[in-house]
Amino acid sequence: MFGDSSATMPDGVPAVPETGAPAPRDSGSRGSARDSGRDGSVRADAAPVEASVDPRLRDRLRVLVCCLALTALSVCTKPGLLLADTKVDMVLDPGAFLGRALHLWDPEQFGQLQNQAAGYFVPMGPFYWLGHAAGMPPWIVQRLWFALLMCAALLGVRALAARLEIGGPAARLAAGTAYALSPHALSALGQNSWEYLPLAMLPWTVVPLATAARRDGGRIRAAARSGLAVGLCGGINGTATVAVLTVPFLFLLTRPRGTHRFRLLGWWTGAVACAVGWWLVPLVLTGRYGFSWLGYTEQADTTTATTGLVDVLRGAERWINYLPQALPVGDALAASAWLVVATAVLAALGLAGLVRRDLPDRTFPLLVLLGGVAVVAAGHMSRIEGPLAPHLRDLLDGPLAPLRNLYKFDGMVRLPLALGIAHLPGTRARHRAPAGDAAGAPPAARRARGGGRDAGRRRDARDGERPGRARRVPRRPALLAGRGGLAERTRRGAVRPGPAGFADGRLHLGTADGRRRPAAAADALGRAADGPAGVTGIRAAP
């Protein structure tokens, strides 16, 4: 019986004394005093101690729930119907499409050079081919492809924020969700999913480089993994793939000295060259011998008319979104009132997180954001435009015609804003003011609340400007009041008098009128004033 005091207790468990005194409680137990009697017996209605859930398991469950939600969103969008995404024959008969893409020459319709057909080999073609080989309905394979892109984007932002030590698990997951459901993603999926494929792989091009930059070693492996992510961006549109390369390039340039950044940059350049070579060579041959259709498509005046600063930050700079019959989702994101407000709020939250001075590795996301805004909005055509905008539009209609759709650089804006969203909740938690005086808190706690050494100096300067106000000095028993401490040495006269602080055995304090008032050294250094623990008051001598 638990209440029998004469029972033999196991080793390591203190026996209950016969006097009826309560048994000592374990400090780590969650039980309360009412759960046990005075004789040490446990009440029958005592609540069991709840086992704590592993934080890593909880985080993985959250990620799984978010990925399942994105998959459900994709599958539940017009179920049973095929969306006009990219190439219809890729969805219906991927094997035949990939077979034709093996040859640059297409003998049909009097013969022609195929336009970037080789870019479908990785990764879009194999995914559709596997789904077709498994006997899945084509519309299911298409929706799973959309879900795969969104989940890859979410997990990539989450992994990159973790490598850069930005935010907590929940904040990183929220940032990844915001990136996966960005306006560019929702408007491109179902119409041109290949446009969003490089954006989905963009974080994964930086994650291996961030790991290698924090560890002294593994540069070749990191460059190879980043090159693999670049290869998975595909080659359906070379401009969209090249646009994402600016982000890892800027990341390597912003590494501090001592991280072998240029050596890592060299290995990364070689890996990228190998990753894009399989589609770059057919693209060059097509541009050299194929028909140039760039002069018969959209012009720079059209593509830059929607690239205003606010639209760029919101993610609504894609000019195709303003065609309601063609893209109803994109039109709603660009023109619907509540969606405009929602996207603007998300952009504002991202900016608020980026401008915080405690953002880890702050130079990289800010530089990428500024570069992205400058590239996308530089040629904006409006009544009030930059001095270089007309010249840039002329270049986009001429030698820079392949870059005329500047919204393909949207990843340079969307990724930094997502990192800012990940950083913002942690910042608010760290700077929440606790109860009590912050001056009596430990230095680490003051720094976590936004105080720190500079804040203490500002408080000291502010206190010194008010006459008669006590100045706070941190108590150091070993230094001040202990044997051989400063207070004892002052009383013995071991401290030399001087104008800087001590004269005639007393401490002189500065006042607002520029005079120095003496204070008793023994009282100042050996006696604590009323106040928080660890604070000593210095009182002026009468």
Q: Is residue 139 within 8 Å of 88, Cβ to Cβ?
A: no
According to DSSP, the β-strands at 112-113 and 516-520 are: unpaired
Say which residue the tokens 């912050």 belong to. Answer: 438
Backbone angles phi, psi at 381, to 5 degrees: -95, 115
Q: Coil, strand, or helix at residue 370? A: helix
pLDDT score of 469 more than 90: no
Q: Coil, strand, or helix at residue 324? A: coil
Which pLDDT tens digit goes with each residue over 149-161?
Answer: 999 999 999 999 9
Q: Is residue 482 within 8 Å of 475, Cβ to Cβ?
A: no
Please give the single-letter amino acid code of residue 313: L
Average pLDDT over residues 472-500: 47
pLDDT score of 435 more than 90: no
Residues 6+ apart with CB under 8 A from 305: 319, 380, 381, 382
pLDDT score of 46 more than 80: no
Average pLDDT over residues 437-445: 40
Residue 535's DSSP bridge partners are: 474
Residue 402 gets which letter from DSSP? Answer: G
Say which residue the tokens 């970037």 belong to. Answer: 116
Find which of 16-20, 310-314, 319-323, 439-443 is predicted with most confidence, using mean pLDDT: 310-314
Angle, CA 150 vertex, CA 146 and CA 151 arms, to 5°: 115
Angle between helices 55-75 and 138-163 (to 10 degrees): 150
Say which residue the tokens 């013995």 belong to. Answer: 492
The confidence band for 109, taking pLDDT boundaries of 50, 70 and 90, is: low
**Token pair in block for residue 64:** 């799984």
pLDDT score of 255 more than 80: yes
Half-sphere exposure at residue 110, Cβ-oriented, CA atoms within 13 angstroms: 0
Residue 472's DSSP bridge partners are: 537
Q: Which candidate, 116, 161, 456, 415, places its Cα nearest to that of 285?
A: 116
pLDDT score of 294 more than 90: no
pLDDT score of 517 more than 70: no
**What does the alpha-carbon distance between residue 75 and residue 378 come to, in Å, rounded to a whole number?**
38
**What does the alpha-carbon distance between residue 183 and residue 372 come to, in Å, rounded to a whole number?**
16
**Sign of CA pseudo-dihedral 341, 344, 346, 349:** negative
Q: Coil, strand, or helix at residue 451? A: coil
Residue 519's DSSP bridge partners are: 507
**What does the alpha-carbon distance between residue 519 and residue 486 come to, in Å, rounded to a whole number?**
15
The Cβ of residue 211 has, within 10 Å, a number of other Cβ atoms equal to 16
Which pLDDT tens digit goes with each residue over 53-78?
Answer: 788 999 999 999 999 999 999 999 99
Q: Which candidate, 293, 294, 299, 296, places its Cα nearest to that of 379?
A: 299
pLDDT score of 112 more than 50: yes
Q: What is the pLDDT of residue 428?
A: 53
89 or 206: which carries more pLDDT confidence? 206
Distance in Å from the first CA to the final CA of the chain: 70
Find which of 37-41, 304-308, 451-455, 502-506 is predicted with most confidence, using mean pLDDT: 304-308
Q: Is residue 414 within 8 Å of 360, Cβ to Cβ?
A: no
Q: Which candidate, 124, 275, 281, 127, places its Cα nearest to that of 208?
A: 275
List the single range of 175-184, 278-287, 406-415, 522-531 with lowest mean pLDDT.
522-531
The confidence band for 530, taking pLDDT boundaries of 50, 70 and 90, is: very low
Which pLDDT tens digit goes with each residue over 155-207?
Answer: 999 999 999 999 999 999 999 999 999 999 999 998 899 999 999 999 999 99
Long-range (24+ apart) CB contacts under 8 A made by 63-68 are 63/154, 63/155, 63/158, 63/173, 66/154, 66/173, 66/176, 66/177, 67/147, 67/151, 67/154, 67/155
Average pLDDT over residues 449-477: 44
